[in-house]
Chains A and B, each alone.
Chain A
Amino acid sequence: NAGVTQTPKFRILKIGQSMTLQCTQDMNHNYMYWYRQDPGMGLKLIYYSVGAGITDKGEVPNGYNVSRSTTEDFPLRLELAAPSQTSVYFCASRLQGEDYGYTFGSGTRLTVV
Chain B
Amino acid sequence: GNSVTQMEGPVTLSEEAFLTINCTYTATGYPSLFWYVQYPGEGLQLLLKATKADDKGSNKGFEATYRKETTSFHLEKGSVQVSDSAVYFCALTGRDYGGSQGNLIFGKGTKLSVKP
The residues of A with any CB-CB pair to B shorter than 8 Å are 4, 33, 40-43, 45, 48, 58, 90, 92, 97, 99-107
- Residues of chain B contacted by A101 (CB below 8 angstroms): 34, 36, 46, 49, 91, 104
Give the number of chain B interface residues (Cβ < 8 Å). 20
6 A–B pairs (Cβ distance < 8 Å), ordered by A: A45-B104, A92-B44, A101-B104, A102-B104, A104-B44, A106-B43
Complex: A105 Cα to B93 Cα, angstroms: 19
Q: Is the CB of A42 within 8 A of B43?
A: no
Q: Is the CB of A58 within 8 A of B44?
A: no
Nearest CB of chain B from residue A54's CB, rounded to whole Å? 14
Known: A42-B109, A99-B32. 15 other contacts (CB 8 A): A42-B89, A42-B108, A43-B44, A45-B103, A58-B103, A90-B43, A92-B104, A97-B101, A99-B93, A100-B46, A101-B46, A101-B49, A102-B104, A103-B46, A104-B43
- Contact A99 B103, CB 8 Å, known A42-B89, A105-B43, A106-B42: no
Q: Is the interface of A mostly helix, strand, loop or mixed?
A: loop
- Residues of chain B contacted by A103 (CB below 8 angstroms): 46
Residues 82-116 (chain B) with a chain A CB within 8 angstroms: 89, 91, 93, 101, 103-104, 106-109
0 or 1 for each of B36-80: is its CB under 8 Å from A? (1 = yes)? 100000111110010100000000000000000000000000000
The closest CB in chain B to the CB of A102 belongs to: B104
Nearest CB of chain B from residue A11's CB, rounded to whole Å? 16
